[in-house]
Amino acid sequence: MENFRSIHNCSSIGRENDAVVADMDGTLLIGRSSFPYFALVAFEIGGVLRLLLLLLLAPIAGILYYFISESAGIRVLIFATFAGVRVSEIESVARAVLPKFYSADLHPETWSVFTACGKRCVLTANPRIMVEAFLKEFLGADLVLGTEVSTYGGRATGFVKGPGVLVGKNKANALKAAFGEQAPEIGLGDRHTDFPFMALCKEAYFVPPKPGVKPVAIDKLPKPIIFHDGRLVQKLTPFLALLTVLWIPVGFLLACLRIAAGALLPMPLVYYAFWALGVRVTVKGTPPPPVTKSPGKSGVLFICSHRTLLDPIFLSTALGRPIPAVTYSVSRLSEIISPIKTVPLSRDRATDAAMIKKLLQEGDLAICPEGTTCREPFLLRFSSLFAELTDELVPVAMVNRMNMFHGTTARGWKGMDPFYFFMNPSPAYEVTFLNKLPRELTCGAGNSSHEVANYIQRVIAATLSYECTTFTRKDKYLALAGNDGTVPVKLQFKPKLVMGS
């Protein structure tokens, strides 16, 4: 470790005017291996076959890394992950998927120094295209110097541009080119290939491996990660990657069996079928009895928090009877396999209001007023339309658990959402029925629809210990895709956490 001192000796006080240059894996992040992040990218852009290719080439990369050079090993990982992939797909995964996993692995001591400095630079062997979005948007990095991946015709070739992988002297040369004769005040690294650039800094500190170190708490980041995408729940180590590859064929067959049970069996039996097939459904609270149909009698409108498109199905499972649901968008495949009636909304307020009123005259109905799903412990803004249509409102707090795959997507084919949810070894849903909204809190008692919607949002949030936000479907797709389908403007993602909408 030459003459470099430990990161423990680096003060983070009075560093507002200093520049810091930090390595990424093992320094800014606790984990020293970049394989898990290459595996995430491989799966998200190429599915199980691309992940399998990466897994098969990983031992070769490891041999080259330890016996030839770090550069050679990283070149193999880059080729296996990126060869032939559209640059836009890599950028999409880097923006929408990786930040969630990177943010859960921040080294506390490095982060303390990094965030205290006025100018922040990250110098990494990782491909810049893979890490830049996270480092700049979530950690406030001013400059990211990483390995440049060669492209042709909008696709990555899998090869590396000159001067090659940023390790050793290449890192030192990149630092000189960026800073010139003005040496940065602090250099942070964790391995011998970082020493050349660290020696160019006025102060240099080594980040030693420290088993059991806890990452920085998510709520300590400059801004929370409310929206993220991707199918995988966990970061993939080589063992978990192998387990995922082996499980997918088995999981898909199991998902088909679970979906068939939900679609073909009478609803009173679905609850027990799910339990027999490893799907756990927990019901809390007292569900309201079915409404007796009569002229002028409105059915109950169940107001659900939105976790996946399966929310109304598990609501029906908990009630033991099918409850129709209105939804903004659902794939044709999901409509076909759904055991309940799904009615699409047109996004025209008058048309949707008339249609919902008609459905309520026929019986009970379910709606998710957030308009889109959110994976994190937040509730998006509730559309207030539902409150104008009936006073028979029952809030329902929905929460689920997935241990391998997410059952939602913003970037992929939504028709696979139910399959991915049911491909989890032991997926679970918890359905909590809250008290029916008292008449004095409804629009019928003179309250505005926005007041009613905000109140129900707060009640559900309090039940789940979630935060209320003012974010909408448009904000979600801006954050994950960079546009809302009509206006190509990148979201300036500044969280607005409020109680109510």
Res 49: pLDDT: 96
Whether the per-residue pLDDT at 31 is higher than 50: the answer is yes
Whether the per-residue pLDDT at 162 is higher than 50: the answer is yes
| Beta-strand relationship, 149-152 and 155-160 | antiparallel
Identify the CA nearest to 43 among candidates 459, 464, 420.
Answer: 420
Structure tokens at 134: 């996270």
Sheet of strand 325-327: strand arrangement: 280-284, 428-433, 393-401, 301-304, 365-367, 325-327, 342-344
Q: Distance (Å, rounded) from C-alpha 346 to C-alpha 11? A: 58
**Contact assessment for residue 274 and residue 424, using Cβ atoms and an 8 Å cutoff:** no
Q: Is the peptide bond before 163 cis (omega within 30 degrees of 0)?
A: yes
Res 492: pLDDT: 40
Second CATH level (architecture) for the domain 5-220? 3-Layer(aba) Sandwich (3.40)
Helix (H) / strand (E) containing 396: strand 393-401
pLDDT band for position 482 (50/70/90)? low
Whether the per-residue pLDDT at 487 is higher than 70: the answer is no
Whether the per-residue pLDDT at 143 is higher than 60: the answer is yes
Q: Distance (Å, rounded) from C-alpha 433 to C-alpha 364? A: 14
Whether the per-residue pLDDT at 493 is higher than 80: the answer is no
Whether the per-residue pLDDT at 499 is higher than 60: the answer is no
- What is the tens place of the pLDDT at every residue in 180-207? 888 999 999 998 889 999 999 999 999 9
Q: Average pLDDT of the chain?
A: 90
Res 496: pLDDT: 41
**Contact assessment for residue 128 and residue 25, using Cβ atoms and an 8 Å cutoff:** no
pLDDT band for position 218 (50/70/90)? confident
Whether the per-residue pLDDT at 459 is higher than 50: the answer is yes
**Contact assessment for residue 65 and residue 73, using Cβ atoms and an 8 Å cutoff:** yes
How many Cα atoms are found within 13 Å in the side-chain-facing hemisphere of 372? 21
Greater confidence (134 vs 1) lies with 134
Whether the per-residue pLDDT at 490 is higher than 80: the answer is no
Res 413: pLDDT: 82
- What is the tens place of the pLDDT at every residue in 344-356? 888 788 898 999 9
Among 106-115, 167-176, 285-294, the minimum mean pLDDT is found in 285-294
Res 454: pLDDT: 95
The separation between the first and the last C-alpha atoms of the chain, rounded to the nearest angstrom, is 54
Identify the CA nearest to 233 among candidates 94, 104, 360, 391.
Answer: 104
- What is the tens place of the pLDDT at every residue in 308-357? 999 999 999 999 999 999 987 777 777 778 888 888 888 788 898 999 99
Mean pLDDT of 110-120: 93
| Beta-strand relationship, 393-401 and 428-433 | antiparallel
**Contact assessment for residue 191 and residue 124, using Cβ atoms and an 8 Å cutoff:** no
Res 412: pLDDT: 78
**Contact assessment for residue 428 and residue 341, using Cβ atoms and an 8 Å cutoff:** no
Structure tokens at 90: 């890599």
**Contact assessment for residue 310 and residue 421, using Cβ atoms and an 8 Å cutoff:** yes
pLDDT band for position 2 (50/70/90)? low
Classify the phi-psi angles of 153: left when phi > 0, otherwise alpha if psi is within -120 to 50, otherwise beta: left
Entry pTM: 0.89
Mean pLDDT of 119-135: 95
Whether the per-residue pLDDT at 422 is higher than 90: the answer is yes
Q: Distance (Å, rounded) from C-alpha 192 to C-alpha 289? A: 69
Cross-strand bridge partners of residue 147 = 127
pLDDT band for position 483 (50/70/90)? very low
Share of the chain above pLDDT 90, in %: 73
Res 498: pLDDT: 43
From start to end of 41-164, where are the E strands? 119-127, 143-147, 149-152, 155-160
Res 481: pLDDT: 65
Per-position DSSP letters for 255-303, written without gaps between them = HHHHHHHHHHS-HHHHHHHHHHTT-EEEEES-PPPPPPP-TTPPPPEEE
Whether the per-residue pLDDT at 486 is higher than 60: the answer is no
336 three-state secondary structure? helix
b/e per residue, 136-173, with b = 16+ CB within 10 A? ebbbebebbbbbbbebeeebbbbebeeebbbbbebbbe
Domain locations in the chain as residue ranges:
5-220, 238-481
Mean pLDDT of 66-82: 93
**Contact assessment for residue 328 and residue 345, using Cβ atoms and an 8 Å cutoff:** yes
Res 43: pLDDT: 96
Mean pLDDT of 31-43: 95
Mean pLDDT of 362-385: 92
Q: Distance (Å, rounded) from C-alpha 386 to C-alpha 368? A: 10
Q: Distance (Å, rounded) from C-alpha 127 to C-alpha 229? A: 20
- What is the tens place of the pLDDT at every residue in 224-269? 888 999 999 999 999 999 999 999 999 999 999 999 999 999 999 9
